[in-house]
Structure 1
Amino acid sequence: MEDEEQAEKNMHKEGRAGVLSTAGHTTFRSSNRSKVPLIICSFIAIFIVLAGIAVLTIWLVYRPRRPNFRVISAAVYQLNATSPPFMSTAMQFTVLTRNPNKRLSVFYDQFSAFVSYKNQAITPQVTLPPLFQEPKSTVALSPVLGGAQVPVAAEVVGGMSMDEAYGVVGLSLVLTGKLEYKAAAGLTIIKTSIGHYRVYVKCDFFVGFKRGLIFGPMPLIGSNDLACRVDV
């Protein structure tokens, strides 16, 4: 009898130990599973921080700067503001664009130009060919604009006639398109992250007219008016 009671006690002890061992194993596995999402989130956070540091480093090294535009000459071959509501003009400009970046080239695409007077277009919009500009370089553009009649408001025609009689006409050359920065070796640096920039260039200037002279090259008045505003 004593042997049977001892055996039964041993079986109870082994059963309890098994339950405790199983419970501990279950608790350990449950704890490991709860740590997995935390580890994954930590890896993602570290990756995002490292990627941000890399992008910031590239940006600081290359540091894209806006290009510069200047109008240096203008030629007016036709300026007919006497048949409202239409105006016909023919003009040619020489524009210098400079890339001030040391390590980045500039690529212009879908570039177009037109002339405006008092914020109203007086020439049709003309598409310009794509332009690739090397670092620290200057390129001259000579767009020919006009040649077709453009409908304008009556106050535009009246204002143009008065300005011609006075001898000074204020005009604006507007250039719009897309701009992309590229490394000097041709590898695109920011295309994948930012893409193309929209670029808007507006050059406000005054042209001097003299009555009785045939249209042609006109003097630009005011050196402070030659620089263009560039929005990228």
Structure 2
Amino acid sequence: MGNEKCADHHDEQRIIIRRCFSGLLIFTVTLLLIIFLVWAILQPKKPHFTLQDAIIFGLNVSSPSVISTSIQVTINSRNPNSRIGIYYEKMHVYATYHNLQITYYTAIPSVYQGHKDFNVWSPFIYGNSVPVAPYNGVALSLDKSNGAIELIIKINGRVKWRVGSFISDQYHLHVTCPAYIPFGNSRNRGIVLGNAIKYQLSQSCSVNV
């Protein structure tokens, strides 16, 4: 009699475990299906960034191992999504030359970007007497004498996606904008603005989220 009760008890346990497993499997499949349908309907796209122009106030090599930089850049950001809004947070912009950071970080204010909306930022980025490897100072002087320098303008920050009232977790944002500037080129002087020179660039940036 006791053996029969034990057998019945084990059978009940197996039934409960099977039901729990089936319920978990159904829940997982349903959740994955919902996520796939949301993705298929919304078709999320990364924001688009463009480096519109750069105003050079100063770009000097005081010695082979010291560079001073003062630039204002204009950056356009566009949200290509028709159903998803984007929160930009903790964003900082800076410049690099030959993979070496030559300016300090400049903060960009947090902002919400609606569907198909765009924003324009014009931050100042600068670095006073920044130490660099001697060959970088020599290379920058040579580029200036040749009439063109190539900087990389970078933006690091966080983004959140908004769909209706739902707001996602934060994701890292990395934006890289090549800035090919004909600085020092006598045939392309740009637009003189007092003691600065403005160069129209309109160069697309790569975006990783």
TM-score by length of 2: 0.87
Unaligned runs of 5+ in 1: 1-18
- Partner Cα separation in structure 2 for residue 28 and residue 205 of structure 1: 76
Percent of pairs identical after alignment? 25
1:169 corresponds to: 149
How has the CA–CA distance of structure 1 residues 26 and 79 changed in structure 2, closer, same or farther, with 3 Å as cutoff? Answer: closer
> Secondary structure at 1:57's aligned position in 2?
helix
- Please list every run of at least 4 consecutive aligned residues from structure 1 whose deviation after the TM superposition is greater than 4 angstroms: 22-30, 211-215
Unaligned runs of 5+ in 2: none
Instruction: Tell me the CA shift for residue 27 of structure 1.
Output: 5.0
Q: Give the count of matched residue pairs.
A: 203
> Secondary structure at 2:119's aligned position in 1?
strand
Instruction: Tell me the CA shift for residue 162 of structure 1.
Output: 0.8
- Partner Cα separation in structure 2 for residue 126 and residue 217 of structure 1: 21
Instruction: Tell me the CA shift for residue 107 of structure 1.
Output: 0.8
Instruction: Tell me the CA shift for residue 34 of structure 1.
Output: 2.9
- Which has the bigger relative contact order, CA under 8 A and spacing at least 6? 2
Instruction: Tell me the CA shift for residue 29 of structure 1.
Output: 5.0
1:68 aligns with 2:63: no
Instruction: Tell me the CA shift for residue 25 of structure 1.
Output: 6.7
2:171 corresponds to: 197
2:11 corresponds to: 31
How has the CA–CA distance of structure 1 residues 211 and 25 changed in structure 2, closer, same or farther, with 3 Å as cutoff? Answer: closer
How has the CA–CA distance of structure 1 residues 160 and 35 changed in structure 2, closer, same or farther, with 3 Å as cutoff? Answer: same
Higher fraction of strand: 2
Deviations along 1:75-95, one digit per CA (max 9) or x if unpaired, are 000111123422111100111
Instruction: Tell me the CA shift for residue 140 of structure 1.
Output: 0.6
- Partner Cα separation in structure 2 for residue 27 and residue 158 of structure 1: 85
TM-score by length of 1: 0.79
User: Which letter maps to 2:174?
Assistant: Y
Higher fraction of helix: 1
Match 2:67 to one of 83, 87, 103: 87
Instruction: Give yes or no for contact 1:87–1:152 (8 Å, CA) kept in 2.
Output: yes
Instruction: Give yes or no for contact 2:108–2:121 (8 Å, CA) kept in 1.
Output: no
2:204 corresponds to: 227
RMSD: 2.3
Instruction: Give yes or no for contact 2:64–2:138 (8 Å, CA) kept in 1.
Output: no
